[in-house]
Amino acid sequence: MFNKFDVLETIDMIEREHLDIRTITMGISLLPYIRETAESTAAAVYEAVCRKAKDIVKVASQLSGEFGIPIVNKRVSVTPVSLICAAFPQEAPRVGQALDAAAKELGIDFLGGYSALVHKGTADYEKIFLESIPELLSTTERVCSSVNVASSKSGINMDAVRLMGEIVKRTAEATRAQDGLGCAKLVVFANAVEDNPFMAGAFHGVGESGTVINVGVSGPGVVKHALENIPDANLNDAAEMIKRTAFKITRAGQLIAKEAAKRLDAEFGIVDLSLAPTPVMGDSVAHILEELGLECVGGHGTTAALAMLNDAVKKGGVMASSHVGGLSGAFIPVSEDIGMIEAADRGMLNIDKLEAMTAVCSVGLDMIAIPGDTPATTISAIIADEAAIGMINNKTTAVRVIPVPGKDVGDSVEFGGLLGRAPIMPVHKTDSSRFVLRGGRIPAPIHSNKN
Amino acid sequence: MRAVVTVTGKDKKGIIAKVSSFLAEKGVNVEDISQTILQEYFAMIMLVDISEMTVELSELSKECEQLGKEIGMSIRLQHEAIFNAMHNI
């Protein structure tokens, strides 16, 4: 018989503290479905995705019932579409449309992989592909796009950074009627990972197997609750508590991941140990930091508290899973975290502090609404800053900002659902265009020369 | 194959009888029961054998939830693996 306190603890975690499996993501390689033309490729891709993932929703619901733990999202990631469409890049949106149709057929909310990897250089076909992103994101509902523009090994492709500033602006404009919602489905990465299960940045790397199940766990509420029980503990003990909690959460994720892989006839890939917040009360990473003793996230001490949280989550999680991957750390998407929204509303959290925070946690400037008249070159400069942090620190960083058309500081934007709400955050008005327009490539740092 | 049934809520008469007769109807055998009452809060944990259950596990878990609503308690049935994973190394 189990210890009754253990049993009740699990029940409490699920019922009161929002413990859930955030996503089961099936990675599917599209390389075998490249055909002579875009039309036949789109048909083959649609058929393959629908066939391989046909049971994903059903299996997730079964597992959720059997183990009594909610499984929030079911998703699919695919090989970067720029590679699939390299022979006919002008027609890449046709494949994107097929993927959107497949996502609808499967009943999943997002499918990731309208992506390109251009961290060292942008081939002609990739440039054409990148130009198609705004149109694709405005004409599809569920397809997500990501572009890797830098890596620790190859430096920062500043030509791609410059272009992506424009692509972000055009995407916002193309989805003006929805307050630039398209940009919520577009991530610009440095050191993108090939097995990330979380949207919008998920894609299925070329080094991956044919069909893989990656699982993202979550549980900011569980961590916060655990810390509430030790309000006066020193930081050694607080870190230890976070580790132990992350261990338990991840073990649940590992169990679901293995079982899901078995039932969906796929390989078990990784468990991503991220603490992913939602806009729901009690599911906030910001509130964990405040529980550690900060009056408000964004104040001095935030970076240190986040560094500790991120590291403790990794340490606890690594012990609990046979394969850890993806982004694995704390997420700080502003619009998706009620504590971050409140801090931004009060003017306590700004883009500069967020940038510092991205140096010690798992992602980057995420879901930040900025004024619609922000120049493309300024967005490129923001991307370059984040890429530099990622490149130098050997970590993944990303930029997902939304220049909301027609809105300015003081306004707020509502994306709804998991994407949440965001007050428009000011960006620096100084001109960075001369730097951005230089183009070229920022060389890889000296410590990347490890061979 | 075993599962854990947890019943929580305000204490009242006949909870064990209702839950165990429901489980018996579904071919589920109760192996162990532990119950606690803290103030008026009732918490019962049952370890049950589900190898001869007559419905699918996810269906059974839904029906337990339904029964819980009927008798005004919260009833959950979960495969034991989740507790093993989270609390045993």
Summarize the confidence of residues A370-390 as an average pLDDT.
98
Percent pLDDT > 70 in chain B is: 100
Position A358 scores a pLDDT of: 96
User: A251 vs B86: CB contact, 8 Å cut-off?
Assistant: yes
* End-to-end Cα distance, chain B: 19
- Confidence band, pLDDT 50/70/90 cuts, at residue A1: low
Domain A1-451: give its CATH code: 3.20.70.20
Is the sign of the CA dihedral A285, A397, A192, A148 positive or negative? positive
Q: Is beta strand A116-117 parallel, antiparallel or unpaired with respect to A143-151?
A: parallel
Mean model confidence pLDDT for chain A: 95
Summarize the confidence of residues A417-421 as an average pLDDT.
88
Token pair of A29, please? Answer: 């390689």
**Residue A216 pLDDT exceeds 90:** yes
**Residue B38 pLDDT exceeds 80:** no
**Residue A3 pLDDT exceeds 90:** no
Q: In this structure, are residues B44 and B33 in contact, taking their beta carbons and an 8 Å threshold?
A: yes
- The whole-angstrom separation of Cα B71 and Cα B54 is 22
Q: In this structure, are residues A258 and A268 in contact, taking their beta carbons and an 8 Å threshold?
A: yes
User: B78 vs A67: CB contact, 8 Å cut-off?
Assistant: yes
Closest CA–CA distance from residue B71 to any residue of chain A (Å) = 19
Closest CA–CA distance from residue B52 to any residue of chain A (Å) = 15
From A2, A65, A254, residue closest to B61, measured CB to CB: A65
Position A88 scores a pLDDT of: 97
Global pTM reads 0.93
Distance of alpha carbon A422 from the chain centroid: 17
Interface contacts A/B by beta carbons within 8 Å: 74
- The whole-angstrom separation of Cα A112 and Cα A100 is 10
Residues in chain B: 89
**Residue A15 pLDDT exceeds 90:** no
Give the Å distances, CA to CA, from A443 to A143, A155, A160, A380.
32, 5, 14, 17
Q: In this structure, are residues B29 and B52 in contact, taking their beta carbons and an 8 Å threshold?
A: yes
The domain limits of chain A are 1-451
Which residue, among A409, A305, A286, A291, has the nearest Cα to A343 in the 3D structure? A286
Three-state SS string across A319-335, please?
HHCCCECCCCCECCCHH
- The whole-angstrom separation of Cα A366 and Cα A188 is 10
Nearest chain A residue (CA) to B5: A7
Taking only the tens place, the pLDDT of each residue in A260-304 is 999 999 999 999 988 889 888 889 999 999 999 999 999 999 999
- The whole-angstrom separation of Cα A246 and Cα A223 is 8
Summarize the confidence of residues A301-315 as an average pLDDT.
95
Which residue, among B3, B36, B40, B47, has the nearest Cα to A66 in the 3D structure? B3
- The whole-angstrom separation of Cα A156 and Cα A442 is 5
Which residue is listed with tokens 């400069």? Answer: A381
Summarize the confidence of residues A127-155 as an average pLDDT.
98
Residues whose CB is less than 8 angstroms from the CB of residue A223 and which lie 6 or more positions away in sequence, other chains included: A242, A245, A246, A275, A288, A309, A313
Percent pLDDT > 90 in chain B is: 71
Radius of gyration of chain B (CA): 13
Distance of alpha carbon A433 from the chain centroid: 28
Q: Count Cβ atoms within 10 A of the Cβ of residue A295 and give its class: 0-12 exposed, 13-18 middle, 19 or more buried.
A: exposed
Position A302 scores a pLDDT of: 97
**Residue A416 pLDDT exceeds 90:** no
Partners of B8 on chain A (C-beta within 8 Å) are 8, 11
Summarize the confidence of residues A364-386 as an average pLDDT.
97
Taking only the tens place, the pLDDT of each residue in A16-68 is 888 899 999 999 999 999 999 999 999 999 999 999 999 999 999 999 999 99
- Confidence band, pLDDT 50/70/90 cuts, at residue B13: confident
CB burial of A21-43 (b: ≥16 within 10 Å; e: otherwise) equals: bbbbbbbbbbeebbeeebeebbb
SS3 A269: strand
User: A3 vs B77: CB contact, 8 Å cut-off?
Assistant: no
- The whole-angstrom separation of Cα A36 and Cα A34 is 7
Q: Count Cβ atoms within 10 A of the Cβ of residue A234 and give its class: 0-12 exposed, 13-18 middle, 19 or more buried.
A: exposed
Mutating which of A1, A7, A259 best tests the B interface, going by the most B Cβ atoms within 10 A? A7
For chain B, domains (ranges, CATH) are 2-87 (3.30.70.260)
Q: In this structure, are residues A158 and A436 in contact, taking their beta carbons and an 8 Å threshold?
A: yes
**Residue B39 pLDDT exceeds 80:** no
Mutating which of B83, B84, B88, B89 best tests the A interface, going by the most A Cβ atoms within 10 A? B83
Worst-scoring range by mean pLDDT, A121-130, A297-306, B27-36? B27-36
Which residue, among B32, B42, B46, has the nearest Cα to B10 in the 3D structure? B42
B6 in contact with A, Cβ within 8 Å: yes
Find the Cα–Cα–Cα–Cα dihedral A333, A322, A390, A80, rounded to 10°.
-80
